[in-house]
Structure 1
Amino acid sequence: TWTASNFVDTTVAEIRERVDAHARETGSDGKVICALSGGVDSAVAAALVHRAVGDRLTCIYVDHGLMRKKESELLRGTFERDLGMQLVMVDARQRFLARLAGIVEPEEKRRIIGDEFIRVFEEEAAKIGRIDFLTQGTLYPDVIESATSETKTAQKIKTHHNVGGLPADLRFKLIEPLRYLFKDEVRRVGSELGLPDTMVLRQPFPGPGLAIRIIGEVTAERLDTLREADWIVIDEIKAAGLYRSLWQSFAILTPVRSVGVMGDGRTYANVVAIRAVTSEDGMTADWAKLPYDVLGKMSSRIVNEVPGVNRVVYDISSKPPATIEWE
């Protein structure tokens, strides 16, 4: 039977053996890099590899400016301070915004972000010197949804950030220790490795970040709007003690504007959608039956605290037919 501790022991041994063998064959140091996204998957993958190869692993966190509020600070605290890993933080916010200017098509956004991410990542990697392996937190549902050759039967649904969106000229060997696991198993592995609950129990967050929760063009201003709205959603979900019972809960900034009243005047402002779902594995999901008072608090706080928003709607669609993310 599968247990987290067995998985950790076996996987750590396999990674160590693979990296050492490569180092022997090529006369290299067997250096490994890992891209941290801020999510559970990359965190657990990094912790596994760190246990296998120690400080031959360098983690690179590319801040693409598409993260949630206070995310980058949390990440630094966890990896540098709590886990003692080597972490390089790169501020690439302007680069990503420049490339996303004028882009509205979701698949194009994903492709650009995946592409630019690898470019920034490679530039940073080049500064480290010779690197042999790249670690990724790809999970089994990612593999299924992107329909790589292992799962030919699954129709391709979306380009998964970790799987299909990679440039063809990638020059590292891949280590994907989680590619046969589901999310609940990954969380158990994370706890087994000693990752804090703030990291292990967090809800899934997409690689392209807030870019695919802004429908339409991604701009600095729209990111700020969504960041504040999203913070309120999570804040109220946590205050109500619902965070751990939900698979995901977040805000979406729609491209729709609606008429409203503010004081004596008429407004024409943004509509924010709230999405909250329950799910076992992310493959199917039900919209969450959130209490009305929780929805009410979110709504009044968003329209009062977030500039440029005058209407909040709640998404009551299940997956299928709707995916969890809007893009």
Structure 2
Amino acid sequence: MKHVSIVVLDFGSQYTQLIARRMREEKIYCEILPYYTKADAIKAKNPQGIILSGGPSSVYSKDAYEVDQEVYNMGIPVLGICYGMQRIAVDFGGSVIRSDHHEYGKAELEIVKPSLLFDDVDNGTTVWMSHSDRVDELPEGFEPIAISANSPYAAIANEDKKVYAMQFHPEVNHSVEGYLMLRNFARKICGVTEKWEMGHFLKEQIKIIREKVGDGKVLCGLSGGVDSSVVAALLYEAIGDQLVPVFVDNGLLRKGEREQVEEVFKINLKVPLITVDAVDNFLGKLAGVSDPETKRKIIGHTFIEEFEAEAKKHEGIKFLAQGTLYPDVIESISVKGPSEVIKSHHNVGGLPDWMDFELIEPLRELFKDEVRKMGLELGLPSSMINRHPFPGPGLAIRIMGDVNRPDLDLLREADAILLDELKASGYYTRTWQAFAVLLNVKSVGVMGDNRTYDNTVCVRVVEAVDGMTATFAHLPHDLLERISRRIINEVDGINRVVYDISSKPPATIEWE
């Protein structure tokens, strides 16, 4: 089992994954485990520190999440964040009560006692509070090391036991020097010295893949997106001709995507590509289906059916490769802890019982920006690596309601215009993801002397680092006007364009 420098125990906070992100940005390898993971299982990973995440529950609720008490006896530093702080307070003999008033938003942190946790942190730095319970009585041996206007125990410590806790969230961007506090915990308190590099992870994955695959073959589904491109390149590097790469045209792709995918893989990657035309099969099964989750499941199951049919044409296939990422896992199923399921992903959750392939997911522990770094390490062209993310279910989840050919054609044209204008203006490389959504909402319009009653398209452009959080892009008004004018003038059936100005959270990036 590989060494993990810092283990995060997940108590259900929407920000848990950001803790791992901040650590990895500091080249500290960090993994998230469920809060109920036993101390022996944690010891097996040989961590140098443990972080208890925040969470939505109260430590005094009937079904409060508890940590294995042996975690505190492992002899390594522990840091509690928000719920994790309250968990520590109660577990060590202190008390927690409901606050007279909740504290949400920015607060000024006053450091009242020197601690390695706050090395090089400015006194009065801004932090992000989000809590309704508070520590009332400190456990024996603990003392406050920072306060805020509403929190006499904004941060506490037992320096002898190396147990620390914060009422605020250092992992979010609103905590201006939170990254520094997390770095101090790992480097200065836990003593983590090694620097985790993508090159090391890549070599490790190649070794793992070769050992797992042996002399078998791997079926790899390609979409042309960043994730599947990196998976294919990684597998080809590891096992060469034992890879069977399959591109399924499901009819839900962007304009010209099939041609682009075939060109990229055959010319750039020199990987023999098998193209399966499954448009009729997918669209037939999606006919009349409007529920988003049902769409996703139909698409996921149909992909697997197509792959199985292709696999039967080749001898020796034992494995199916997928480009599952860490955020996919976190958002889809609570395997890492009690975090709420946000939406299912078509490539998460294993294989159906009737399939006799083993699953290979070499990117399962990586965030999107880390996948891009791996792609560059593998020698993939930056034009491919820097493509905006495109969801596995494709345009099906960008059409509100029923999926049909006319609507798909309409959306493809609008989406192509949006991407064309973003690239021409330079905003494509400055934003994380951009796409058009067909709302299936019709409204009255006027074109020439004629009254129209046509479709509304929503344009969505966001800025993000890893897709776990995102803000809408502040595009210039003249660019938005140009996008709107071209879509309305060039795409028959659209007479209104709107711009999505919501961020994630509370919204998701995709509409479905």
TM-score range, shorter chain: over 0.9
How far the C-alpha of 1:306 sits from its partner, in A, is 0.5
CA contact 2:327–2:367 (8 Å) conserved in 1: yes
TM-score by length of 1: 0.95
The reply on whether 1:221 has 2:406 as its aligned counterpart is: yes
State the alpha-carbon separation in 1 of the partners of residues 402 and 303 from structure 2: 18
- SS of equivalent to 2:497: strand
For 1:284-320, what per-residue CA distance to the aligned partner results, in whole angstroms no more than 9, with x for missing partners?
1111101101101100000000010000000011111
Q: Indicate the structure with greater strand content.
A: 2
For 1:255-303, what per-residue CA distance to the aligned partner results, in whole angstroms no more than 9, with x for missing partners?
1001001111100000000000111111111111011011011000000
Count residues with an aligned counterpart: 318
* Residue in structure 2 matched with residue 3 of structure 1 by the alignment: 197
Q: Note the 1:4-153 alignment, pairs <5 A.
A: 4-20=198-214, 23=215, 30-149=216-335, 151-153=336-338
Residue identity matched to 1:283: M
Q: Note the 1:158-307 alignment, pairs <5 A.
A: 158-164=343-349, 166-307=351-492
State the alpha-carbon separation in 2 of the partners of residues 103 and 292 from structure 1: 36
- SS of equivalent to 1:86: coil
Residue identity matched to 1:42: S
Residue identity matched to 1:62: V
CA contact 1:57–1:86 (8 Å) conserved in 2: no
Residue identity matched to 2:401: G
State the alpha-carbon separation in 2 of the partners of residues 148 and 164 from structure 1: 10
How far the C-alpha of 1:129 sits from its partner, in A, is 2.2
How far the C-alpha of 1:130 sits from its partner, in A, is 2.8
Runs (5+) with no aligned partner, structure 1: 24-29
Query: Which aligned runs of 4 or more in structure 1 are off by greater than 4 angstroms?
Result: none
* Residue in structure 2 matched with residue 27 of structure 1 by the alignment: none
Mean Cα deviation higher: 151-160 or 305-314: 151-160
State the alpha-carbon separation in 2 of the partners of residues 211 and 280 from structure 1: 25
Bigger Rg over Cα? 2
CA contact 1:229–1:302 (8 Å) conserved in 2: yes
Residue identity matched to 1:31: K
CA contact 1:115–1:166 (8 Å) conserved in 2: no
State the alpha-carbon separation in 1 of the partners of residues 511 and 268 from structure 2: 34
For 1:44-83, what per-residue CA distance to the aligned partner results, in whole angstroms no more than 9, with x for missing partners?
0111111010011011111001000111111111111221
Which structure has more relative contact order (CA 8 Å, sep 6+)? It is 1
TM-score by length of 2: 0.61
For 1:13-65, what per-residue CA distance to the aligned partner results, in whole angstroms no more than 9, with x for missing partners?
22112212xx4xxxxxx111100122111110111111010011011111001
Residue identity matched to 2:308: E
How far the C-alpha of 1:198 sits from its partner, in A, is 2.1
CA contact 1:69–1:227 (8 Å) conserved in 2: yes
Residue identity matched to 2:212: R
- SS of equivalent to 1:127: coil
State the alpha-carbon separation in 1 of the partners of residues 305 and 209 from structure 2: 25
For 1:136-193, what per-residue CA distance to the aligned partner results, in whole angstroms no more than 9, with x for missing partners?
11110011001242x1221111111110485343321111111111111100100111
- SS of equivalent to 1:129: coil
Residue identity matched to 1:278: E
